[in-house]
């Protein structure tokens, strides 16, 4: 077996299951899960129709590169959404993938040069656990950059010493962030690109929450947009990851894309040809329908906006928090240890949240996820309101 497998930590939800083991919550209270970031809003009917109408295409082996029509649709969407004056080339700068989870992992395997001494992958802390696992299994060392209230919940690029940058081969960014919802500015992204140019590494921007924002006049900027503004019209060293899971409430479709530097994507396509993770043709046709429509995405944002407002109004008197600029997570501080909070909340109120420490790693200054919980407001509005009222009762009981 690959010995690197022994270095992988239990996934957060394994830890959560162990935390809840043996506890019997009140039977009269329906369970409400705010722990998993799985969208529960209704997916667009036209995408499901496109999927079902084209099931006969399952008789075809799909191409790893995807249908030209899908790549063209994705390029058009990204060009418009991120104001790319130098348009993406759909043939060389766009690659459909089976959701961002698969792509983030596979991409890391493809780009890390194991022949170099001590390759490093830098990432935010707390973080999406795939970043760490992908780095370890690619033979690289994960380096964690703490995201705290003091630095706006963004990785502090200035805190990294030159020798670490010298060994860095890949920098993972996540904007809007998971779990904090923090959004990176154009200046921040440009700084990351400047460092990538100086030290010759790749910037991989996980932007799967980019369409879940609350100010319709100020959608989050993307890495490719920062490339364009800084004169990097070829998107050198920059790659972005997008998905239909959150944007279109289609997590089970497993459909997204990678876009950016054509040379990097050419190598990644070669890897994927052997990796064997091509999107079925019906999935691609449903994806085309989803990327071409913005109406359902706006309606999606409206629902999240409603939930965030009502939940924050209920909880702020006892659990102060700020509504993030984007994503569907709340990241409040807890009055007691976060694991104890999550365990007690489940035991008393049958509501599941995720302890923040499970999403982060310990550092010299502590675990930046400690004394926080992640609440995914993915349940229906009424359930989110009910959960907030139960959480309020629990906090008041402490």
Q: What are phi and psi of 144, to 5 degrees?
A: -100, 130
Sign of CA dihedral 332, 126, 205, 253: negative
Give the pLDDT of residue 14: 97
195-215 pLDDT tens trace:
999 999 999 999 999 999 999
Asked if the model's pLDDT at residue 322 lies above 90, the reply is no
pTM higher than the cut 0.95: yes
101-159 pLDDT tens trace:
999 999 999 999 999 999 999 999 999 999 999 999 999 999 999 999 999 999 999 99
From the list 208, 124, 120, the residue with the least C-alpha distance to 166 is: 120
Cα–Cα distance for residue pair 310/352, rounded to 1 Å: 19
Instruction: Look over the chain and give the mean of its residue pLDDT values, rounded to a whole number.
Output: 97
Helix (H) or strand (E) holding 391: helix 381-397
- Whether the CB-CB separation of 342 and 373 falls below 8 Å is answered with yes
Give the pLDDT of residue 276: 85
232-291 pLDDT tens trace:
999 999 999 999 999 999 999 999 999 999 999 999 999 999 998 899 999 999 999 999
Asked if the model's pLDDT at residue 9 lies above 90, the reply is yes
Asked if the model's pLDDT at residue 86 lies above 90, the reply is no
- Whether the CB-CB separation of 241 and 203 falls below 8 Å is answered with no
343-353 pLDDT tens trace:
999 999 999 99
Place of tokens 């006969």: 56
As a whole number, mean pLDDT of residues 283-301 equals 98
Asked if the model's pLDDT at residue 88 lies above 90, the reply is yes
Give the pLDDT of residue 294: 98
Q: How confident is the model at residue 356 (pLDDT cuts 50, 70, 90)?
A: very high
23-80 pLDDT tens trace:
999 999 999 999 999 999 999 999 999 999 999 999 999 999 999 999 999 999 999 9
- Whether the CB-CB separation of 219 and 210 falls below 8 Å is answered with yes
Cα–Cα distance for residue pair 348/246, rounded to 1 Å: 30
169-179 pLDDT tens trace:
999 999 999 99
Cα–Cα distance for residue pair 325/99, rounded to 1 Å: 23
Count other C-beta atoms under 10 Å from residue 67's C-beta: 18
């Amino acid at each position: 077996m690959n010995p690197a497998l022994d270095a992988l930590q239990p996934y957060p939800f394994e830890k959560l299951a162990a935390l809840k083991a043996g506890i019997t919550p009140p039977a009269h209270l329906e369970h409400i899960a705010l722990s998993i970031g799985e969208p529960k809003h209704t997916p667009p009917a036209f995408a499901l129709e496109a999927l079902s109408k084209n099931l006969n295409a399952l008789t075809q082996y799909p191409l790893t590169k995807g249908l030209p029509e899908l790549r063209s649709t994705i390029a058009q969407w990204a060009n418009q959404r991120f104001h790319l004056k130098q348009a993406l080339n759909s043939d060389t700068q766009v690659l459909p993938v089976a959701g961002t989870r698969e792509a983030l992992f596979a991409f890391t395997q493809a780009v890390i040069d194991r022949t170099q001494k001590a390759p490093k992958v830098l990432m935010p802390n707390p973080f999406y656990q795939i970043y760490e696992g992908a780095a370890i299994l690619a033979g690289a060392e994960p380096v964690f950059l703490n995201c705290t209230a003091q630095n706006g919940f963004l990785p502090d690029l200035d805190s990294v010493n030159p020798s670490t940058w010298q060994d860095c081969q890949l920098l993972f960014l996540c904007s809007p962030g998971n779990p904090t919802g923090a959004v990176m500015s154009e200046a921040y992204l440009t700084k990351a690109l400047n460092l990538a140019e100086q030290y010759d590494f790749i910037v991989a921007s996980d932007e799967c929450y980019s369409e879940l924002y609350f100010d319709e006049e100020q959608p989050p900027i993307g890495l490719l947009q920062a490339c364009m503004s800084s004169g990097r019209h070829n998107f050198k060293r920059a790659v972005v990851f997008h998905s239909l899971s959150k944007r279109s409430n289609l997590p089970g479709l497993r459909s997204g894309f990678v876009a950016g530097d054509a040379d990097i994507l050419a190598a990644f396509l070669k890897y994927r040809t052997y990796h064997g993770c091509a999107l079925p043709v019906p999935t691609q046709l449903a994806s085309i329908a989803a990327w071409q429509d913005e109406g359902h995405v706006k309606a999606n944002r409206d629902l999240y906006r409603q939930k965030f407002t009502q939940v924050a109004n209920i909880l702020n008197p006892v659990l102060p928090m700020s509504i993030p600029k984007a994503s569907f997570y709340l990241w409040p501080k807890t009055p007691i240890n976060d694991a104890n909070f999550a365990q007690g909340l489940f035991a008393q109120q049958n509501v599941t949240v995720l302890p923040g420490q499970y999403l982060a790693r310990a550092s010299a200054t502590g675990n930046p996820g400690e004394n926080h919980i992640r609440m995914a407001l993915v349940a229906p509005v009424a359930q989110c309101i009910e959960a907030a009222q139960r959480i309020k009762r629990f906090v008041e009981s402490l």
